[in-house]
Amino acid sequence: MYIHVKKDILNRDKSAQLFEEAKKLFPGGVNSPVRAFKSVYGPPLFIKKGRGAYIIDEDDNKFLDFCCSWGPLILGHANEKVTSRICSTVVEGTSFGTPTALGNTIGRLILDNNKYIDKLRFVSSGTEAVMSALRLARGYSGKSKIVKFEGCYHGHVDSLLVKAGSGLATFGVSTSAGIPESFINETIVLPLNDLVLLEEAFKANDDIACVIIEPIPANNGLLLQDRNYLVWLRKLCDDYNILLIFDEVISGFRVGYEGAAGYYSIQPDIITYGKIIGGGMPVGAYGASHEIMSHVSPDGNVYQAGTLSANPVAMAAGIATLEQLIEEDFYDNLEAKTLQFVNKIQAHCEAKSYKLQIQSIGSIFWFNFSEHRVMTPDQISSDGIEHFKNLHRYLLDSGIYMGPSGYEVGFVSAAHTPEQLSEAADVIIKGLDLIF
Ligand SMILES: *Cc1c(COP(=O)(O)O)cnc(C)c1O
């Protein structure tokens, strides 16, 4: 098999050297764990530059990028309008800690074009958005427990770093050290795609403030749910007077300008955003109805603040991004390109009877090495994750960069041309022929 006969042809000398140095500076040599390439071959690449659909590493290797900074770069790298807006803003000063007109501009750009939220608050990351949304749900409802689903990721919020324990009705166990038992006890973890267990949990607990879900779960493979399930989830939350939070840090502005709420036409109570909303700068946000948002400080008694919140440079990047996303046909074009790419690979897999279903929605795709669509994390094949590891190595050697784990989804940006995508599909097909 390929992995036994082939040596790395990619020269990663500089990256390897920088990684050795970084290990002395940062835990595991990185500032976010998955960047360490623990689940794929070789040292991580140190990237020095990005242009359009490409990134270039310190050894001057060039890659077609399907990671796109884990989702934010829906316009590709160094988009001209985004960088020039950042530059013209930054020379006027980087931060004032006051309201700015730029904040209003992006606020209007979002709220005038999204019927699912009336008001929003900017923060500086997806994690912070989720953390704030949970506090708001609890402050608004006066209740304390939260329901989350196995297979959804919501950032590194203490009370959400929890997975199901043995026995689904019992409380979960933490997935990180350093989380007090008492925090875990406030979180109920349930399987996706299961309304029976959900209603049982609702019946058994009268202290549930909210349910949080990635309506398009895209952090543990792409575990696409049926719209019907989400509609019923909405209905059950209404029946039991429980708030529904859509964590749209990935899906927001990705599957459409109104995110998953718009894609499925479902009204959540609170929505969290991140990634794309900041156009590559550190931005998050949470939004809801006027009534719910009136509980946020200083209007209400749910405290939440941030020194660099709505930072003008970040707002400028967000504005320049969103102005392009709102153009007619933006999402249709992106989705059509992605489908063409995915279908080309899928057709080959079918002709060869390879066990691979590429799951995709909008411009998100995921290599599901199995014969069936998967909707819960336990259905993900561990053989498949091993296949991905081999494929990843082949693709790096061939100039294609994917997120460094079989559980990570890929993103197509507006900068990827149909020609680049068609060539990439050919390379991926060659890679699959080698690993199967
Ligand atoms: C990325 C992500 C987060 C965390 O955002 P950060 O900016 O990394 O803190 C939260 N929720 C979802 C759905 C995400 O994809």
Sheet holding 208-213, edge to edge: 119-123, 284-288, 270-273, 243-247, 208-213, 145-150, 187-191
**Ordered DSSP codes for 351-414:** HTT-S-EEEEETTEEEEE-SSS---SGGGS-HHHHHHHHHHHHHHHHTTEE--SSTTS-EE--T
**125 Cα–ligand 1 center, Å:** 7
| Dist CA 419 CA 344 (whole Å) | 13
Q: In degrees rounded to 5, what are phi and psi of residue 187?
A: -115, 130
pLDDT score at 283? 98
Angle between helical axes of 80-90 and 312-325 (0-180°, round to 10): 150
Atom of ligand 1 nearest to the CA of 125: 7
The class that CATH gives domain 80-325 is: alpha beta
pLDDT score at 167? 55
Statement: residue 161 has pLDDT above 80:
yes
Considering only CA atoms, which residue is closest to atom 6 of ligand 1?
Answer: 126
**10 Cα–ligand 1 center, Å:** 31
Pocket of ligand 1 (CB under 6 A): 125-127, 130, 153-155, 214, 219, 247, 249-250, 274, 284
6, two tokens: 């082939």
pLDDT score at 135? 98
Q: What average pLDDT does range 163-179 have in this prediction? A: 77
| pLDDT tens-digit series, residues 111-153 | 999 999 999 999 999 999 999 999 999 999 999 999 999 999 9
| pLDDT tens-digit series, residues 262-295 | 999 999 999 999 999 999 999 999 999 999 999 9
Q: Is 163 helix (H, G, I), strand (E, B) or coil?
A: strand
Sequence-separated contacts (24+) of 329-332 with Cβ below 8 Å: 330/414, 331/255, 331/256, 331/257, 331/362
Residue 286, strand partner residues? 121, 272
| Dist CA 340 CA 215 (whole Å) | 24
326 secondary structure, DSSP code: T
Q: Is 72 helix (H, G, I), strand (E, B) or coil?
A: coil
| Dist CA 205 CA 294 (whole Å) | 27
45 secondary structure, DSSP code: P
Beta carbons within 8 Å of 302's beta carbon, 6+ residues apart: 135, 136, 139, 140, 295, 296
**2 Cα–ligand 1 center, Å:** 35
Statement: residue 1 has pLDDT above 80:
no
pLDDT score at 7? 52
pLDDT score at 379? 94
What's the whole-number average pLDDT of the chain? Answer: 95
| pLDDT tens-digit series, residues 234-268 | 999 999 999 999 999 999 999 999 999 999 999 99
Choose the residue to mutate in 32, 132, 250, 276 for probing ligand 1, maximizing ligand atoms within 8 Å of C-beta: 250
- What element of type H or E holds 146? strand 145-150
Considering only CA atoms, which residue is closest to atom 15 of ligand 1?
Answer: 250
Binned at pLDDT 50, 70 and 90, residue 382 comes out as: confident
Statement: residue 5 has pLDDT above 70:
no
Q: What average pLDDT does range 88-110 have in this prediction? A: 98
Binned at pLDDT 50, 70 and 90, residue 171 comes out as: low
Beta carbons within 8 Å of 58's beta carbon, 6+ residues apart: 14, 15, 18, 45, 46, 47, 48
Which CATH number fits the domain 13-66+329-435, given the four candidates 3.40.50.720, 3.40.50.1370, 3.90.1150.10, 3.30.70.20? 3.90.1150.10
Considering only CA atoms, which residue is closest to atom 14 of ligand 1?
Answer: 249
434, two tokens: 């080698």
Catalytic residues: 153, 247, 275
| pLDDT tens-digit series, residues 39-74 | 999 999 999 999 999 999 999 999 999 999 999 999
| pLDDT tens-digit series, residues 218-228 | 999 999 999 99
- Is-contact 121 132, C-beta < 8 A? yes
| pLDDT tens-digit series, residues 329-355 | 999 999 999 999 999 999 999 999 999
pLDDT score at 3? 44
Give CATH 3.90.1150.10 domain extents, the chain: 13-66+329-435
Give CATH 3.40.640.10 domain extents, the chain: 80-325
